[in-house]
Chain A
Amino acid sequence: MSRHVDDSEPMEMVGDFPDPAAFQDHSGGAPRKKKRHEHHDHPVHVNINSLLDVLSVILVFLMKSYSSNVVQIKPSPALQVPFSHSTMAVQESTAVTVTLKDILVDDLPVMTFESGVVPTNFLSSGGLLIDPLFQKLQDAVDHQKKIAAVNAKAEFKGIVTIIADRNVPFSLLTEVMYTAGQAQYNKFKFAAIRSER
Chain B
Amino acid sequence: MMDLFAVLIPALLMMSAVVEVTMLNVSAPSVGPSDATPPPPSDKPPLNLTINITHAGYVVVGQGGVLSGPGVNPAPMPTKGQIPPTIPIIQHPMSCSRFRNTWPPPRTQNRNTQRCENPMDTRTFWTYDLHALTQKVIDVKDAFPDERRLIIKADADIEYEAVIDVMDATRDIRLQTGEIKPLFDEVLLSPADT
Contacts and interface: CB of A to CB of B under 8 A. Distances in A.
Contact of A82 (B158, B164, B192): B164
A87 B159 contact: no
Given A167-B159, A188-B28, A174 B192 contact: yes
Contacts of B15: 66
B9 A58 contact: yes
Contact of B24 (A170, A173, A185, A190): A190
Contacts of A178: 28, 31-32, 191
The secondary-structure label for the interface of chain B is mixed
Contacts of B191: 128, 174, 178
B25 A171 contact: no
Interface string B21-43: 11111111001111110000000
Interface string B89-133: 000000000100010000100000000000000000000000000
A168 B163 CA distance: 11
Nearest to B35: A186
Interface in B27-84: 27-28, 31-36, 53
B20 interface: yes
Contact of A69 (B13, B16, B36): B16
A86 B24 contact: yes
A192 B163 CA distance: 12
A88 B23 contact: yes
A10 to B, nearest CB: 45
Contact of B158 (A71, A83, A84, A170): A170
Interface of A: 48, 52, 55-56, 58-59, 62-63, 65-66, 69, 71-75, 80, 82-91, 128, 161, 164-171, 173-174, 177-178, 180-195, 197
8 contacts: A55-B2, A62-B8, A66-B15, A84-B167, A86-B22, A168-B159, A169-B192, A183-B32
